[in-house]
Amino acid sequence: MPHPLSRLAALLLASFAASQAMAANVYVSNEKDHTLSVIDSSTLQVVKTLKVGKRPRGITLSKDGKSLFICASDDNTVQVMDLASGKITHNLPSGEDPEQFALAPDGKSLYIANENSNVVTIIDVASRRVTGQVDVGVEPEGMAVSPDGRWAVNTSETTNMVHWIDTATRKLVDSTLVDQRPRYARFSADGKLLWVSAEVGGTVSVIDVASRKRIKTISFAITGIPKDRIQPVGIRLTRDGRYAFVPLGPANHVAVIDAKTFQPVKYLLVGRRVWHAELSADEKQLWVTNGISNDVSVIDTAALKVLKSIPVGRYPWGVAVSGS
């Protein structure tokens, strides 16, 4: 029988290893501070604040998880940060005023929406070159690439449409009308459905990818909150197809939607003007950015409860979680 102390040591080591495995870094872009806040997902504390380009908005991790792409909107570029050193290694040519982008599943191409020039710019990440531009509607904003890599979709805020770009031919092949001011698009894990939020319309449209037709429109109602304050923006879907989480902007709530029945099941109170969201790799945590109250809220997805709100920089916008 081993010595009790050695058993204790082994136990401590094991629990340490477990907590290490769970700990992830959460990256938050602060639009007004031109910084990136780094939060430890196990202690829920800000551990670092890094200086980045002007007006950082959309952020996304590279497929290997070693670098972070940052839309530095007022610098008209996409910055690439090496996460180990926290240094910007190089910039990618993004076209004018990049706000949101999506990385193809193979991690090779970046699709960037250029709000002011009504185009989607396609960049080859390795060669750091623009490989194509596709004309879309007015004020392109949301970007998503289907899990099979076949479709890149873009939402245009003024045209109120989802534009379907065939990634093989890089041509716009179809458009689907949705509600007013579509801000964000997200494919389901199986790639069969596309969820699109409409900020002014106050709805989320669910589109069948095969037919590119809208099959469901989800509306929201929160007791005591006027309808016009309900402005859905970001969307996150769990891999098991159970829940969809939709931050509702100035309604200061995140809607939890049953992704099978398309019915909202719960509204979670968070900070002011909540826009974007990201799930942790194990999908146990959902992180959302509260633009006006300058903090992020972390939600326990099993209990559907807000655990904590953590102050970051001014106007937190985008969020990415390592490992996810």
The reply to whether 308 sits near another protein by the rule CB under 8 A is yes
The reply to whether 4 sits near another protein by the rule CB under 8 A is no
CB of 4 to another protein, least distance (A): 31
CB of 43 to another protein, least distance (A): 13
CB of 234 to another protein, least distance (A): 18
The reply to whether 285 sits near another protein by the rule CB under 8 A is no
CB of 225 to another protein, least distance (A): 6
**Three state DSSP letters for the chain:** CCCHHHHHHHHHHHHHHHHHHHCCEEEEEECCCCEEEEEECCCCEEEEEEECCCCEEEEEECCCCCEEEEEEHHHCEEEEEECCCCEEEEEEECCCCEEEEEECCCCCEEEEEECCCCEEEEEECCCCEEEEEEECCCCEEEEEECCCCCEEEEEECCCCEEEEEECCCCEEEEEEECCCCEEEEEECCCCCEEEEEECCCCEEEEEECCCCEEEEEEECCCCCCCHHHCCCCCCEECCCCCEEEEECECCCEEEEEECCCCEEEEEEECCCCEEEEEECCCCCEEEEEECCCCEEEEEECCCCEEEEEEECCCCEEEEEECCC
For residue 252 the two structure tokens come to: 């200061």
The reply to whether 224 sits near another protein by the rule CB under 8 A is yes
Cα separation, 78 vs 72, in Å, equals 6
- Our CB check for another protein shows the closer of 268 and 279 to be 268
CB of 226 to another protein, least distance (A): 8
CB of 236 to another protein, least distance (A): 19
- Our CB check for another protein shows the closer of 200 and 222 to be 222
Give the footprint of another protein on residues 33-92 (CB under 8 A): none
Among 229, 242, 247, 233, residue whose Cα is nearest residue 286: 247
Residues in binding contact with another protein, number by CB under 8 A = 16
The reply to whether 292 sits near another protein by the rule CB under 8 A is no
- Our CB check for another protein shows the closer of 290 and 322 to be 290
The single residue among 297, 313, 315, 321 that binds another protein, judged by CB under 8 A, is 297
The reply to whether 272 sits near another protein by the rule CB under 8 A is yes
The reply to whether 225 sits near another protein by the rule CB under 8 A is yes
Cα separation, 214 vs 193, in Å, equals 10
The single residue among 45, 47, 269, 314 that binds another protein, judged by CB under 8 A, is 269
The reply to whether 212 sits near another protein by the rule CB under 8 A is no
- Our CB check for another protein shows the closer of 59 and 254 to be 254
Cα separation, 107 vs 64, in Å, equals 8
The reply to whether 223 sits near another protein by the rule CB under 8 A is yes
Dihedral sign of CA atoms 67, 284, 286, 246 in order: positive
The reply to whether 270 sits near another protein by the rule CB under 8 A is yes
The reply to whether 248 sits near another protein by the rule CB under 8 A is no
**For another protein, which stretch binds (CB under 8 A), given 107-115, 153-161, 220-228, 280-288?**
220-228
CB of 309 to another protein, least distance (A): 4
Binding site for another protein (CB under 8 A): 223-225, 252, 269-272, 293, 295, 297, 305-309
